[in-house]
């Protein structure tokens, strides 16, 4: 754990600060599509990154292994791979393991060794916990105990590809033109206080949850202390990590619906709550009372995704951009509208969600779900 | 016995400016000034002067200056004037030296060694004049999580929350007991709290029935003397507070002398007129943590679980462990009172030597409750020397939910901290039961001054929050990354949980 903290935050700052471009594209029917549109779109926002990080999460990636945990792991050294392989062999049935196919000609900086695994927890190994919990613990162990291995992604039927370079170079390096998925989340990064480190690029993943994030949380200090109360260790020291753990706590562990979660992360203002009808008002007050330490304050836009769902959300006064768009059954979320217009013409609808109002794409729900806040503040 | 004590202050009167109006004579409750008709000059008994500035402020020609007596004992860093005078005083009286207000010793004020952050480039600061800036805070126990039932697509809340206090600014008026302060001050505090959407705390002397109408903004206190505690009293408040200790005098009880127990005070405190009101040092039904639990639940039973129960302790060496026990005993709010917390009367030796600065106690209590995973089970209110809005912001960033102010509120209505509250002769009409002197506090004006103070501080808090890029106070609470220490040792930084400035 120490190792990751040191590599990701070499100057020991409060946290790693970065800003970014985000792009998400989801076919709500579940039809899988290739890299062409998403890579072109994220590449169009080149100026929002500085070449120190780009990455992709693709869902519906491994239909032939859809029930196996797909691990993408990067290694800083050979020793960490040996340790990781031993740990995996001990705790999992390793169904397949191979080096990630890459294109060495791509313009990326100092690529590490990256492997891809398909795993099933050893029978009865999980004992009194769910398979997810068991996998999560093993991911934490690999990240903290092997001294140089870092799990890019660990979900089913999905995978994360990321590294140091512009998003278009990362796509080329990982040969993304050979993959398909029904949901793509893309990220270009502009870190200000960390040198390039492949693990530090977005998306950030835990199980099948991924988060890409643009912004800087002024509330990071308390968000982190609150999550630590629930056993999360913020080793990466990034806002994205805090965001991912908050989603994990609220959605996976506490089983709260996204509609509620959005109002915890970016709650309506008190002046808006005061003017709500009684039931909704009570609910919003209680949410702010109970989860005040998870209010994500300061500028952010996130695109969070897990199997079957993609969510776009900004902070409640919208200090970072987010544009949503629909064409047919495809939902687009992007930092800039131009990126969407570039890859699709004649959009059915383009809009800018207001601060704190999530846009949710759900598989087989043919219209994106929007949760609108009451319009009190003009 | 001839007293060897020299006057501490010298009154200087510019005879050219003095118009012999005798305002100073009328205003001074210590009989410092007197008029000599033969000389047609106003003179002063310097030895009576307490440096309260009442005459200075009210002199229409600004003729009066009060100076520290320049005649000093031979300089000695150990045997200070205060130490020498105290010994002489005790040699003459054989008693304990009493004082008022909070510790005046130059122990670090850690607030002044903490600096705040502001946003630059990577995130925007927020202008509170243009954008919403939220100070509303709910005090009380919060659950670990909320649970919902899904009914026909709608989320129905299943979790029932403990009762909460809603404050529109994270500043409450601390416990100031009726008897120690006058009814007019109590009224002004209650009215200001009501007007601004916060709370005043009755202190341990009960609540005059004429103020019951402000009950929705009053925290009623239950202390070791149980003065004024009745079912009506418990139920009229918005919350209850069990007072275990006070920052100015940890481990010490209270004593309101019989001469202060006037008819009004006797009725409210429910004791005979003229009898001493003695608050025992401990609550005699609380000798252990499980006893505290019984009292907490006795109060919750009496009020039908509709009001949060706060437990107030003085910050002492093991506050963190004690606070953890209090939370587990069922306290909804923990009130921590630091060594600089003030009092209407306390032995000077206790006031100045017992306790812990509130900053350190707060940091360790907040951290301990988090480590034990129970920080959400109680809110923390801190008290003890909060003197500006910056102190409030720093307290909240260190981990407090809100602060109590006492001295600052009294200063707002005239107090000059002369430390003579225990005499009951407060020339400003604040710390006195005397119906004649207490008329000097006009409740309308005092209310206005208190509301102005709350407003001024709240505006400043919003400015500081906006600078940090934070638009809701809950994002500041416990957010120690917004703080940096200056001129502090590694150990101090570690206890405070903050980094050094520049790091």
pLDDT the model gives residue A258: 83
Euclidean distance between CA atoms B270 and B187, whole angstroms: 19
Whether residue A254 contacts residue A294, with contact meaning beta carbons closer than 8 Å, is answered with no
Euclidean distance between CA atoms A4 and B136, whole angstroms: 38
Euclidean distance between CA atoms A302 and A23, whole angstroms: 10
Task: Please name which of A145, A79, A351, A136 lies closest in space to residue A253, comparing C-alpha atoms.
Answer: A136
- Whether a cis peptide bond, with omega within 30° of 0, leads into B244 is no
What is the H or E stretch that residue B241 is in?
strand B239-243
Min mean pLDDT across A6-20, B51-65, B130-144, B328-342 is at A6-20
Could you give the dihedral angle defined by the CA atoms of residues B312, B316, B317 and B320, in that order, rounded to the nearest 10 degrees? 20
Q: Is A220 on the interface with B (CB under 8 A)?
A: yes
How long a stretch of residues is chain B? 503
pTM of the model: 0.92
CA B442 centroid distance within chain: 21
Rounded to the nearest 5 percent, the helix, strand and coil shares of chain A are 35, 30, 40
Q: For the segment B4-39, what is each residue's pLDDT rounded down to a tens digit?
A: 999 999 999 999 999 999 999 999 999 999 999 999
Flag if B132 and A377 touch (Cβ within 8 Å): yes
Q: Is A274 on the interface with B (CB under 8 A)?
A: no
Task: Please name which of A208, A99, A88, A93 lies closest in space to residue A142, comparing C-alpha atoms.
Answer: A88
CA dihedral over B434, B438, B443, B447, signed as positive or negative: negative
Flag if B471 and A288 touch (Cβ within 8 Å): no
Residues of A with active-site annotation = 20
Closest Cβ–Cβ partner in A14, A219, A289 for B142: A289
Axis-axis angle for helices A131-145, A78-91 (nearest 10): 160
Euclidean distance between CA atoms B390 and B397, whole angstroms: 10
Euclidean distance between CA atoms B187 and A146, whole angstroms: 66
Q: Is A292 on the interface with B (CB under 8 A)?
A: yes
CB pairs < 8 Å spanning A and B: 123
Task: Please name which of A158, A262, A172 lies closest in space to residue A210, comparing C-alpha atoms.
Answer: A158
Flag if A298 and B123 touch (Cβ within 8 Å): yes
- Overall average pLDDT of the B67-89 stretch: 94
Whether residue B481 contacts residue B119, with contact meaning beta carbons closer than 8 Å, is answered with no
Whether residue B238 contacts residue B202, with contact meaning beta carbons closer than 8 Å, is answered with no
A212: which strand partners? Answer: A303
pLDDT the model gives residue A377: 45
Euclidean distance between CA atoms A203 and A217, whole angstroms: 17
User: Token digits for A333?
Assistant: 């979320």
In angstroms, the Cα distances linking A203 to A16, A151, A238, B416 are: 15, 12, 12, 59
Cα A146–A147–A151 angle (5° rounding)?
65
Q: For the segment B173-201, what is each residue's pLDDT rounded down to a tens digit?
A: 999 999 999 999 999 999 999 999 999 99
Q: Is A291 on the interface with B (CB under 8 A)?
A: yes
Task: Please name which of A342, A359, A346, A344 lies closest in space to residue A302, comparing C-alpha atoms.
Answer: A359
Q: For the segment B458-503, what is each residue's pLDDT rounded down to a tens digit?
A: 999 999 999 999 999 999 999 999 999 999 999 999 999 999 999 8
B368: which strand partners? Answer: none
β-pairing verdict for B309-314 and B239-243: parallel
Where are the strands (E) in B304-364, listed by range? 309-314, 333-337, 346-347
Number of C-beta neighbours around residue B69 at 10 A:
14
Closest CA of chain A from B127, distance in Å: 12
Contacts of residue A227 in chain B, CB cutoff 8 Å? none
Closest Cβ–Cβ partner in B132, B150, B375 for A229: B375
Euclidean distance between CA atoms B92 and B288, whole angstroms: 40
Q: Is the pLDDT of residue B66 over 90?
A: yes
- Overall average pLDDT of the B66-84 stretch: 94
Euclidean distance between CA atoms B134 and B7, whole angstroms: 51
CA dihedral over B26, B31, B33, B39, signed as positive or negative: positive
Q: For the segment B299-309, what is each residue's pLDDT rounded down to a tens digit?
A: 999 999 999 99
Flag if A19 and B376 touch (Cβ within 8 Å): no
Flag if B124 and A319 touch (Cβ within 8 Å): yes
Euclidean distance between CA atoms B427 and B27, whole angstroms: 7
pLDDT the model gives residue A193: 61
Rg (CA), chain B: 24
pLDDT the model gives residue B308: 98
pLDDT the model gives residue A5: 67
User: Token digits for A365?
Assistant: 């729900």
Euclidean distance between CA atoms A216 and B122, whole angstroms: 7
Contacts of residue A299 in chain B, CB cutoff 8 Å? 123-124, 469
A57: which strand partners? Answer: A160, A185
Residuewise pLDDT in 10s, chain A (378 residues): 456 666 667 777 777 666 689 999 999 999 999 999 999 999 999 888 887 889 999 999 999 999 999 999 999 999 999 999 999 999 999 999 999 999 999 998 889 999 999 999 998 777 788 899 899 889 989 988 888 899 999 999 999 999 999 999 999 999 999 999 999 999 988 876 666 678 888 899 989 899 998 888 899 999 999 999 998 888 777 888 899 899 999 998 898 988 889 899 999 999 999 999 998 899 999 999 999 999 999 899 999 999 999 999 999 988 899 999 999 999 999 999 999 999 998 999 999 999 889 999 999 888 888 877 655 443
Buried/exposed A184-210: b ≥16 CB within 10 Å, e otherwise: bbbbbbbbeebebbbbbbbbbbbbbbb
Q: Is the pLDDT of residue B131 over 50?
A: yes
Q: Is A169 on the interface with B (CB under 8 A)?
A: no
Number of C-beta neighbours around residue B306 at 10 A:
10
* DSSP structure class, residue B344: S
β-pairing verdict for B239-243 and B218-222: parallel
* DSSP structure class, residue B72: -
User: Token digits for A116?
Assistant: 């891809």
Euclidean distance between CA atoms B414 and B229, whole angstroms: 30
Which are the contacts of B421, defined by CB distance < 8 A and separation ≥ 6?
B100, B101, B180, B343, B344, B345, B430, B431
pLDDT the model gives residue B69: 95
Q: Give the per-residue SS3 of A275-332.
A: CCCHHHHHHHHHHHHHCHHHCCCCCEEEEEEECCEEEEEECCCCCCCCEEEEECCEEE
- Give the percent of chain B with pLDDT over 70: 100
What is the H or E stretch that residue A94 is in?
strand A92-99
Number of C-beta neighbours around residue A165 at 10 A:
28
For an interface test with A, which of B147, B464, B481 has the most A Cβ atoms less than 10 Å from its Cβ?
A: B481
Flag if B159 and A286 touch (Cβ within 8 Å): yes
Alpha helices per DSSP H over A167-257: 167-173, 220-229, 239-247
Contacts of residue A17 in chain B, CB cutoff 8 Å? 122
pLDDT the model gives residue A368: 83
Assign A347 to helix, strand or coil.
Answer: coil
In angstroms, the Cα distances linking B150 to A16, A262, A281, B395 are: 38, 17, 18, 40
Closest Cβ–Cβ partner in A225, A257, A377 for B370: A225
Flag if A221 and B375 touch (Cβ within 8 Å): no
Which are the contacts of A64, defined by CB distance < 8 A and separation ≥ 6?
none
Residue B229, CB half-sphere, CA atoms under 13 Å: how many? 17
Whether residue B238 contacts residue B164, with contact meaning beta carbons closer than 8 Å, is answered with no
Buried/exposed A219-243: b ≥16 CB within 10 Å, e otherwise: bbbbbbbbbebeebbbbbbbbbbbb
How long a stretch of residues is chain A? 378
Closest CA of chain B from A34, distance in Å: 34
């Amino acid at each position: 754990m120490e190792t990751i903290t040191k590599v990701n935050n070499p100057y020991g700052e409060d946290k790693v600060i970065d800003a970014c471009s985000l792009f998400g594209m989801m076919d709500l029917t579940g039809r899988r599509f290739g890299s062409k549109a998403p890579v072109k779109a994220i590449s169009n926002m080149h100026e929002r990154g500085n070449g120190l990080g780009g990455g992709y999460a693709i869902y519906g990636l491994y239909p032939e292994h859809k029930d196996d945990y797909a691990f993408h792991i990067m290694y800083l050294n050979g020793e960490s791979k040996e340790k990781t392989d031993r740990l995996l062999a001990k705790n999992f049935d390793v169904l397949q393991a191979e080096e990630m196919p890459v294109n060495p000609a791509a313009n990326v900086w100092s690529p590490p060794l990256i492997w891809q695994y398909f795993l099933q927890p050893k029978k009865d190994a999980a004992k009194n916990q769910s398979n997810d919990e068991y996998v999560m613990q093993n991911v934490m162990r690999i990240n903290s105990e092997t001294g140089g291995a870092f799990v890019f992604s660990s979900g089913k039927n999905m995978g994360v590809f990321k590294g140091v370079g512009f998003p278009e170079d990362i796509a080329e390096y990982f040969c993304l033109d050979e993959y398909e998925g029904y949901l793509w989340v893309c990220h270009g990064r502009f870190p200000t206080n960390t040198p390039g480190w492949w693990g530090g690029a977005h998306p950030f993943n835990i199980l099948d949850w991924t988060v890409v994030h643009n912004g800087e949380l002024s509330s990071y200090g308390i968000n982190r202390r609150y999550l630590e109360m629930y056993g999360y260790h913020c080793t990466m020291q990034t806002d994205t990590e805090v965001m991912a753990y908050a989603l994990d706590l609220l959605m996976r562990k506490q089983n709260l619906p996204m509609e509620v979660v959005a109002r915890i992360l970016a709650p309506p203002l008190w002046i808006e709550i005061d003017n709500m009808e009684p039931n909704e008002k009570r609910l919003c007050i209680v949410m702010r009372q109970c989860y005040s330490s998870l209010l994500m304050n300061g500028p952010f836009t996130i695109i969070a995704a897990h199997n079957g769902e993609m969510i776009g959300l900004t902070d409640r006064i919208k200090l970072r951009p987010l544009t949503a768009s629909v064409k047919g059954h495809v939902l687009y979320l992007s930092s800039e509208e131009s990126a969407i217009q570039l890859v699709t013409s004649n959009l059915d609808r383009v809009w800018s969600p207001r601060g704190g109002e999530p846009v949710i794409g759900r598989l087989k729900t043919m219209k994106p779900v929007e949760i609108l806040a009451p319009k009190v503040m003009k | 016995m001839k007293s060897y004590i020299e006057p501490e202050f010298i009154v200087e009167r510019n005879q050219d400016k003095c118009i012999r109006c005798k305002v100073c004579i009328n205003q001074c409750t210590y009989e410092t000034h007197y008029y000599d008709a033969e000389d047609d000059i106003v003179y002063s008994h310097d030895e009576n002067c307490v440096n309260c500035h009442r005459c200075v402020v009210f002199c229409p020609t600004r003729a009066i200056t009060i100076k520290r007596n320049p005649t000093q004992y031979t300089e000695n860093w150990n045997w200070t004037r205060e130490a020498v005078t105290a010994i002489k005083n005790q040699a003459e009286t054989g008693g304990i030296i009493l004082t008022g207000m909070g510790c005046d010793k130059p122990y670090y004020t850690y607030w002044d060694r903490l600096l705040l952050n502001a946003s630059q480039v990577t995130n925007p600061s927020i202008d509170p004049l243009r954008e919403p800036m939220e100070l509303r805070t709910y005090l009380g126990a919060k659950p670990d999580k909320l649970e919902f039932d899904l009914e026909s697509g709608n989320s129905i809340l299943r979790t029932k929350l403990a009762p909460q206090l809603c404050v529109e600014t994270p500043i409450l008026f601390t416990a100031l007991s009726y008897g120690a302060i006058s009814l007019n001050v109590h009224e002004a505090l209650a009215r200001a709290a009501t007007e601004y959407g916060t709370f005043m705390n009755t202190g341990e002397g009960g609540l005059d029935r004429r103020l019951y109408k402000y009950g929705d903004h009053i925290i009623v206190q239950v202390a070791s003397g149980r003065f004024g505690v009745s079912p009506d009293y418990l139920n009229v408040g918005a919350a209850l507070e069990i007072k275990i200790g006070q920052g100015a005098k940890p481990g010490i009880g209270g004593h309101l002398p019989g001469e202060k127990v006037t008819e009004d005070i006797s009725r409210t405190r429910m004791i005979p007129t003229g009898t001493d009101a003695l608050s025992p040092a401990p609550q005699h039904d609380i000798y252990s943590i499980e006893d505290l639990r019984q009292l907490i639940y006795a109060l919750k039973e009496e009020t039908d679980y509709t009001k949060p129960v706060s437990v107030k302790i003085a910050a002492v060496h093991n506050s963190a462990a004690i606070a953890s026990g209090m939370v587990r005993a069922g306290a909804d709010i923990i009130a921590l009172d630091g060594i600089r917390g003030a009092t209407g009367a306390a032995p000077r030796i206790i006031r100045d030597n017992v306790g812990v600065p509130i900053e350190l106690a707060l940091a360790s209590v907040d951290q301990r409750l988090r480590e034990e995973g129970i920080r959400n089970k109680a809110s923390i209110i801190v008290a003890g020397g909060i003197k500006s809005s910056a102190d409030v912001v720093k307290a909240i960033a260190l981990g407090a939910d809100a602060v109590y102010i006492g001295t600052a509120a009294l200063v707002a209505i005239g107090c000059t901290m002369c430390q003579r509250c225990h005499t009951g002769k407060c020339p400003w009409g604040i710390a006195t039961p005397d119906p004649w002197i207490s008329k000097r506090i006009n409740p309308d004006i005092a209310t206005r001054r208190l509301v102005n103070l709350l407003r001024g501080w709240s505006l400043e808090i919003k400015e500081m929050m906006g600078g940090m890029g934070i638009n809701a106070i809950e994002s500041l609470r416990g957010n120690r990354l917004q703080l940096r220490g200056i001129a502090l040792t590694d150990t101090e930084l570690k206890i405070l949980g903050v980094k050094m400035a520049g790091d």
